[in-house]
């Protein structure tokens, strides 16, 4: 599939994933490899199985067949779908992060920005108010939210700010792997550009691996090292971002690339 020789060193190794919703196959024979520090974009049209793939990789939905293996920092491999629920929960609140398209799904709207950012720290056992608050303020500044808004409720924030707050809340525990589901969806173009710039900087600086689901080829080109193109539940093409986008091999990828508006 890719140039990396040893398939067992991957952060995430998924083999033979199959999942159908009734008669509709959502995932068919999907293999995914993700290496530490790498950003993988999953692109495709609506209904091609991108979000389902994200849910299966993150252990939120069990596949009908196939397995997802996660390699922890100690080098031990875990099957995401057979590991005990508490272990998966621990992964989700420390090593992993999930960024939703709609920040309201992830944020607590009746809890201040600082509380939202601090929650993962407290879930992990932080019990010093001063430290939690300092870290929350530090992260708000990193995502370009004014430090004096730390006690404001998220419902007073704009859409772009909410998305940045969600990113701060997710990254505060320094996860190794972040799943992003259309992180720039529903934002206007200038806000999108700032957000993409922010995500790119943070991901590069912290060395976070990410699986990024998007239908926007431009987002994929800007953020991703590698790209996987999905159509009707199958990964039809995968490779380095520039390679796939500049020289698409599969007919569907060619269609996808050529249908981007050139302004």
Q: Which residues bind other proteins (CB under 8 A)?
A: 85-86, 89, 93, 108, 111-112, 114-115, 118-120, 122-124, 127-130, 132-133, 150-151
Give the bridge partners for 25, in sequence order.
20
At its nearest, how many Å lie between other proteins and the CB of residue 255? 43
Closest CB to other proteins among residues 150, 161: 150
Q: Would you put residue 207 in left (φ > 0), alpha (ψ -120 to 50) or beta? A: left
At its nearest, how many Å lie between other proteins and the CB of residue 242? 41
**How many CB atoms within 10 Å of residue 239?**
19
Q: b/e string for 151-171 if b means 16 or more Cβ within 10 A? A: eebbeebeebbbbbbbbbbbb
Closest CB to other proteins among residues 136, 199: 136
Q: In terms of residues, how long is the chain?
A: 263
Contact partners, residue 129, CB within 8 Å, separation at least 6: none
Closest CB to other proteins among residues 45, 95: 95
At its nearest, how many Å lie between other proteins and the CB of residue 33? 30
Closest CB to other proteins among residues 44, 175: 175
Q: State residue 243 phi and psi, 5-degree precision.
A: -60, -50
Pick from 64, 12, 4, 5: which is nearest to 179 by CA?
12
**Burial of residue 44, with CB atoms counted within 10 A of its CB: 0-12 exposed, 13-18 middle, 19 or more buried:** buried
At its nearest, how many Å lie between other proteins and the CB of residue 129? 4
At its nearest, how many Å lie between other proteins and the CB of residue 184? 27
Closest CB to other proteins among residues 83, 111: 111
At its nearest, how many Å lie between other proteins and the CB of residue 43? 33
Closest CB to other proteins among residues 133, 200: 133
Q: What does the DSSP assignment read for 45-56?
A: -TTSSHHHHHHH
**How many CB atoms within 10 Å of residue 79?**
11
């Amino acid at each position: 599939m890719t140039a990396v020789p040893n398939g067992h060193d991957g952060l995430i190794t998924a083999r033979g994933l199959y999942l159908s919703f009734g008669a509709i196959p959502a995932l068919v024979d999907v293999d995914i490899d993700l290496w530490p520090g790498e950003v993988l974009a999953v692109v495709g049209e609506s209904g091609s199985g991108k979000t389902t793939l994200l849910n299966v990789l993150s252990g939120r939905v069990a596949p009908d067949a196939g397995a997802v293996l996660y390699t922890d920092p100690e080098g031990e491999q875990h099957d995401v779908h057979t590991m005990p629920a508490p272990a998966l929960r621990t992964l989700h609140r420390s090593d992993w992060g999930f960024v939703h398209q709609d920040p309201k799904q992830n944020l607590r709207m009746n809890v201040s920005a600082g509380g939202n950012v601090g929650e993962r720290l407290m879930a992990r056992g932080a019990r010093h108010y001063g430290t939690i608050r300092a870290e929350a303020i530090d992260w708000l500044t990193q995502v370009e939210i004014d430090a004096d808004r730390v006690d404001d409720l998220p419902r007073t924030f704009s859409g772009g700010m909410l998305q940045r707050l969600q990113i701060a809340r997710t990254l505060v525990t320094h996860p190794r792997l972040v799943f992003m589901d259309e992180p720039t969806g529903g934002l206007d173009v200038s806000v999108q550009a700032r957000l993409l710039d922010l995500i790119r900087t943070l991901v590069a600086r912290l060395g976070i691996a990410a699986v990024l689901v998007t239908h926007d080829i431009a987002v994929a080109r800007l953020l991703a090292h590698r790209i996987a193109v999905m159509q009707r539940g199958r990964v039809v093409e995968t490779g380095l971002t520039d390679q796939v986008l500049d020289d698409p091999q599969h007919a569907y990828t060619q269609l996808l690339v050529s249908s981007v508006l050139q302004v």
